[in-house]
């Protein structure tokens, strides 16, 4: 592990974000884990639950660039990545870079954009680059996409294809705040006073050093075996339980195994350990697997969710 000051930055960052963001601990932790593993996050929740506020506040605490993209059915790929503009004086085409060239991106209501726009975003997420004409432009680092989708209003939406869902490290379900949390929100926001400002408390260099430290976190071979066993079980649940076998059409890809191991190491780092424990994997399983499991018609007819399937799976596979 690194020096004590280096190890304390996650707690300092959480404290700074808590000045304006009430509750949402799972979301904040997931954003920190995404930064440490260079992953992206898909959020599902009703409007008004501080999704925009969360990533905007995080960008201010890290002093990085931030862009909010409102996805609509008439959006074009050029609106996202940019285009080539003809320069009549030089008789050449010059790139005009789009808003995707920011370090933190909020892709608001991503499922309202057509397939070509989602494809353009997919290249940026996966390759960390954008191609305009014959030139490839590298995106700034760190590069984090926080995409949101509204589970209530599905009219005029384009469901994300499985290949794109698989590119997201986590899918987080945002719930309404508790009564105590909403009371605090009300007291903070129901005045004419300007909202409290957060200050940059973590540098990009500190984040890069922490990523190197995460690489050195130890994960036992038995835990790796447990991860593979868990992910492979999602592809054929009948081997684990006959009643679960009819609930899933397709399971998680090997990318889920990789990201579960990486995230477990990052979680161990955030909690001050230099080794992974089984509870790290169980804590992250729902976030990593829920958007990678395709439920069958039988499951939908019985109103069974992916989270329920994962919970049953975790209870039936023995921890090492």
Which residues belong to CATH 3.40.50.300 in the chain? 4-187
Please give the Cα distance from 223 to 3 (Å, whole number).
27
Distance CA 310, CA 298 (A): 16
- CA 180 vs. chain centroid, Å, equals 27
Q: What is the pTM (predicted TM-score) of this model?
A: 0.85
Q: What is the H or E stretch that residue 124 is in?
A: helix 115-127
CATH number of 217-316: 1.10.8.80
pLDDT for 181: 82
d(CA 193, CA 200): 22
Domain covering 4-187, topology: Rossmann fold (3.40.50)
Q: What is the pLDDT of residue 4?
A: 41
**189, 20 in Cβ contact below 8 A?**
no
Token pair of 255 as six digits? 């990318």
Domain limits, CATH 1.10.8.80, in the chain = 217-316
Structure tokens at 76: 């074009």
Does residue 148 or residue 45 have the better pLDDT? 148
Alpha helices in 197-237 (DSSP H): 204-215, 221-233
Question: Is beta strand 135-138 parallel, antiparallel or unpaired with respect to 104-108?
Answer: unpaired
Q: Give the model confidence (pLDDT) of 105-127 as tens digits.
A: 998 888 888 888 888 888 788 88
CA dihedral 26, 105, 39, 206 (to 10 degrees): -80
């Amino acid at each position: 592990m690194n020096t004590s000051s280096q190890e304390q930055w996650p707690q300092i960052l959480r404290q700074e974000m808590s000045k304006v963001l009430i509750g949402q601990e799972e979301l904040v932790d997931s954003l920190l884990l995404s930064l440490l593993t260079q992953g992206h996050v898909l959020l599902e929740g009703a409007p008004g639950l501080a999704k925009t506020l969360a990533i905007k506040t995080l960008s201010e605490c890290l002093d990085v660039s931030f862009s909010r993209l409102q996805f609509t059915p008439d959006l074009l790929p050029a609106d996202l990545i940019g285009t080539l503009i003809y320069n009549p004086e030089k008789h050449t085409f010059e790139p005009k870079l789009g808003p995707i060239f920011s370090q933190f991106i909020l892709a608001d209501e991503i499922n309202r954009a057509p397939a070509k726009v989602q494809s353009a975003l997919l290249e940026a997420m996966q390759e960390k680059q954008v191609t305009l004409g014959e030139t490839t432009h590298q995106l700034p680092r760190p590069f984090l996409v926080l995409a949101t989708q509204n589970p209530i209003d599905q009219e005029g939406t384009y469901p994300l294809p499985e290949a794109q869902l698989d590119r997201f490290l986590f899918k987080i379900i945002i719930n309404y705040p508790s009564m105590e949390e909403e009371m605090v929100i009300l007291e903070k926001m129901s005045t004419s006073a300007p909202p409290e400002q957060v200050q940059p408390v973590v540098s990009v260099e500190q984040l890069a050093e922490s990523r190197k430290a995460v690489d050195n976190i130890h994960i036992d071979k038995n835990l790796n075996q447990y991860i593979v066993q868990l992910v492979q079980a999602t592809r054929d649940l009948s081997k684990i339980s006959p009643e679960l076998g009819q609930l899933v059409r397709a399971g998680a890809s090997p990318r889920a195994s990789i990201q579960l191991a990486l995230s477990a190491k990052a979680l161990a780092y955030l909690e001050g350990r230099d080794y992974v424990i089984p509870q790290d994997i169980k804590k992250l399983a729902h976030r990593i697997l829920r958007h990678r499991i395709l439920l069958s018609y039988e499951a939908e007819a019985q109103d069974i969710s992916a989270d329920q399937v994962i919970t049953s799976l975790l209870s039936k596979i023995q921890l090492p």
